[in-house]
Amino acid sequence: MAGEKDGAVAFFDVDGTLVWHDEEKVASGESDFSKDVPSPAVYDAFDRMRAAGNLAFICTGRPTPFIMDSLRALRPDGYVACAGAYVQVGDVVVRDEHIPSDLLLETAERFVAAGIDVTFESNTMGVEVRPSGAPAHFPGLGLVRTAAELEPFLREHAYAKFCVSRCDPDALEGVRAFCERHFTIANLQFGTYEFSPRGVDKGTGIEAALAHLGHGRKGTFAFGDSENDLPMAPAVETFVAMANALPAVKERAGYVTDSVERDGVPAALAHFGLI
């Protein structure tokens, strides 16, 4: 594989970095993530990265079923998915972490008691736990109303992380202390919060990918916009924030590029001479 020893290796977040979602549609729940398509300039940049002997990885909070064909058409050299819980380099799976079933069930019980809808994410089948009675939000996922109804899913599937969407931060106060003992909480913007097991994040996922490649930290890059992208910063030599990133992400970045709407990724790759 080109780039294993001497070429650059770059890791790209998806939402807010490679693709853009209209803020109002996300806030209202109308955004269709299944139709995400990077711009022609992004496809061209990935092709040019590859031609220059560099490697490009998708590094996303999404589980693998939510990495749509339009993203796979970028032909990345691997994936860091489920916010670092799953890592694939070429055809080799080098990491696959999961939340213990007993902890996940207790988590579901606490969210149901607080009346908070939550989505548990898996590389096989996700499930939405919606005590509010709201209809399913994501096609293809399971839908239950109580923690007890979740148990059959836990017998057949392993879950790596979970999210709440369109949630007022104050609503999380009843479960925050419990969650902070077991999980890292990341603000993904637009009222969406992601919960990952402590010690499992995009940064440790990148480290697993680089170790498999035999590639050091020199000549590595990561691009992001949200709090779950912050762990990428110490794992790479150069952390790049999008112009549309959260302030804390831009403060941590070594370079701030243009917004995703204005093809900030290709602009930064050209700035660093990677394309």
DSSP, residue by residue, 200-217: -SHHHHHHHHHHHHT--S
Distance between CA atoms of residues 254 and 240, nearest Å: 6
pLDDT score for 138 = 85
Residue 15 in this model has a pLDDT that exceeds 60: yes
Asked whether residue 112 carries a pLDDT value surpassing 80, the answer given is yes
Q: For position 169, what pLDDT does the model report?
A: 81
The mean pLDDT of 141-159, rounded to a whole number, is 96
Q: What is the mean pLDDT of residues 138-146?
A: 93
pLDDT of residue 1: 53
State the pTM of this model: 0.91
110-137: average pLDDT: 95
Topology (CATH level 3) of domain 101-159+161-197: 3.30.1240
pLDDT band at 30 (very low <50, low <70, confident <90, very high): low
What pLDDT does residue 3 have?
46
Q: pLDDT band at residue 5, thresholds of 50, 70 and 90? A: low
Architecture of domain 9-96+200-271: 3-Layer(aba) Sandwich (3.40)
Does 34 score more than 90 pLDDT?
no
Residue reference for tokens 């990077």:
38
Q: What is the pLDDT of residue 33?
A: 54
Cβ density class 170-201: b for 16+ within 10 Å, e for less: eebeebeeebeebbbebbbbbbbbbbbbeebb
Share of residues in the chain with pLDDT > 90 (%): 84
Which residue ranges make up each domain of the chain? Answer: 9-96+200-271, 101-159+161-197
Query: What are the tokens at 152?
Result: 């059959």
Round to whole Å and give the CA distance between 11 and 55.
Answer: 9
Task: State both tokens at 95.
Answer: 């990491």
